[in-house]
Amino acid sequence: MRALICKEFGPYENLEVAEVDAPPLNEGFVQVDVKAAGVNFPDILLVEGKYQAQPPFPFIPGTECAGVVSELGKGAAGFKPGDRVIVATMLGGFAEQAVAPAAQVIPIPDAMSFEHAAAFTTIYGTSYHALKQRAKLQPGETVLVLGAAGGVGLATVQLAKAMGAKVIAAASSAEKLEIAREGGADELINYATEDLKARVREITANKGVDVVYDPVGGDYSEAALRATGWGGRYLVIGFAAGPIPKVPLNLALLNSRDILGVFWGAWAGRNPRENAQNMKELFDLYETGKIVPHISAAYPLDEFAKAFADIMERRVKGKVILTF
């Protein structure tokens, strides 16, 4: 099979597309013929050696893909050849075939395309867990979303609206903010040209927001934290801007704010039943049209570098995928 191979940590341009043996089909595992795979920022961190996990070489990156079940390992129950599924796995998604434990394979609705399925699990799984389990978002509350046109940002805009919240979308250009508006944002802030904290205070009549969703980090994190009101919840999702911000801890004391870390993958592994319920609810939202992945671009496997560059250069609006 053809696959994207990482032989050593370094720039993503060093990756190779090569013919390799299909991975072994162990007991309890499912083999899937891949049709599309989602590309995420952690995939790039992984191949550059900057992620918290560092697998042995050589390895195939790719945390999520979608396709058709082609074979079952001994004892793998709940699937049959021909089933349309998502594979949620730490490695192996950027290949013509992927294998994973049956527990990490998710049936997809008939109405969902492979492209949408490949773009679905990570962004909506992360964002829904953040809003539902971590922030405990309530109808009528206000959510500020940083990086609102990116994968998890746009997913959060859609989900927060579906959960009955008012959404303030913040991004770095008018084009990106238009994508967030189409996703359901009520208010827009261009933090490249506007004062983030001041605009939030203006929009909320000086009350501040109830929840901040921050996948960006960098220079805007402290301003966003300061823009939360009494009992505000600040969700730490990631650091797409690069630098990990250092914030004064007295900001948590003031206004009784909570700073909440969100590590959806680890939580899902520890709480499989709750995660399965989350995924069911997400598929229901998809089937009713309340959430829809926005595909910024789709590239064949041989053009993987274009997909990675789109993410690193912050051109992605929604999600970028690889097709097979």
pLDDT at 309: 96
Phi, psi torsion values for 27, nearest 5 degrees: -60, 135
Supply the mean pLDDT for the chain: 95
As a whole number of angstroms, the longest Cα–Cα distance in the chain is 61
pTM, entire model = 0.92
Question: N- to C-terminal Cα distance for the chain?
Answer: 11
Digit-coded pLDDT (tens) for 164-187:
999 999 999 999 999 999 999 999
C-alpha 294/C-alpha 311 separation (Å) is 14
User: For the chain, which residues make up each domain, given as ranges?
Assistant: 2-120+293-323, 124-265
- Confidence category of residue 269, pLDDT binned at 50, 70, 90: confident
165: left (phi over 0), alpha (psi -120 to 50) or beta: beta
Whole-angstrom Cα distance, residue 144 to residue 147?
10
* Phi, psi angles (nearest 5°) of residue 192: -80, -25
The structural architecture, per CATH, of the domain 124-265 is: 3-Layer(aba) Sandwich (3.40)
How many angstroms from the chain centroid is the CA of residue 111?
Answer: 21
How many alpha carbons fall within 13 Å on the CB side of residue 110? 0
- The answer on pLDDT for 240 being more than 90 is no
266: CB partners within 8 A, 6+ apart = none
pLDDT at residue 239, as a whole number? 87
pLDDT at 52: 80
Mean pLDDT, range 1-27, rounded to an integer? 96
Class in CATH terms, 2-120+293-323: alpha beta
